[in-house]
Amino acid sequence: MIDSGSNLSDHCPLILNINIPNIKKLPGVGKNRIKHQMQVTYRWDLGDIMQYYALTGELLMGIDVPMHLLSNGSIGDTLNAVEEINSFYNNIVFSLQKASYASIPRKKHNF
């Protein structure tokens, strides 16, 4: 733990160093996916932000955090750790998308 004294928060600062091997680009991720995503615009100004906030809280609380990956010592099976981290990340993204689909209207980009 490092504390310079300039942090006036009551939270303790932490430093975490993680070495993750390079991962090849996933198949199916390319220009078509990006082009498809750009065709829809979220209208956050017309959405129910309180519903989005409540849904994200509910959905994110249901995600299991792989805390065992942060324990002291070696990670062990690196491929398994990468899969768990990717799964954790995908669950977060899916939860945020699901909440936005339910509470934020979308319009086509050329609307």
Q: For residue 18, is pLDDT > 60?
A: yes
Whether 39 is in a domain gets the answer yes
Query: Which parts of the chain are beta strand (E)?
Result: 40-42, 106-108
Whether 19 is in a domain gets the answer no
Burial pattern 97-109, b for ≥16 Cβ within 10 A else e, equals eebbeebbeeeee
The answer to whether residues 41 and 106 touch, using CB atoms and an 8 Å cutoff, is yes
Q: For residue 72, is pLDDT > 60?
A: no
In percent, the amount of the chain with pLDDT more than 90 equals: 32
The answer to whether residues 56 and 95 touch, using CB atoms and an 8 Å cutoff, is yes
- Per the structure, the count of domains in the chain is 1
Whether 7 is in a domain gets the answer no
Whether 46 is in a domain gets the answer yes
For residue 39, give its domain range. 31-108
Whether 95 is in a domain gets the answer yes
Whether 54 is in a domain gets the answer yes
Whether 93 is in a domain gets the answer yes
The answer to whether residues 99 and 59 touch, using CB atoms and an 8 Å cutoff, is yes
The answer to whether residues 82 and 20 touch, using CB atoms and an 8 Å cutoff, is yes
| pLDDT: which is higher, 44 or 20 | 44
pTM of the model: 0.58
Whether 24 is in a domain gets the answer no
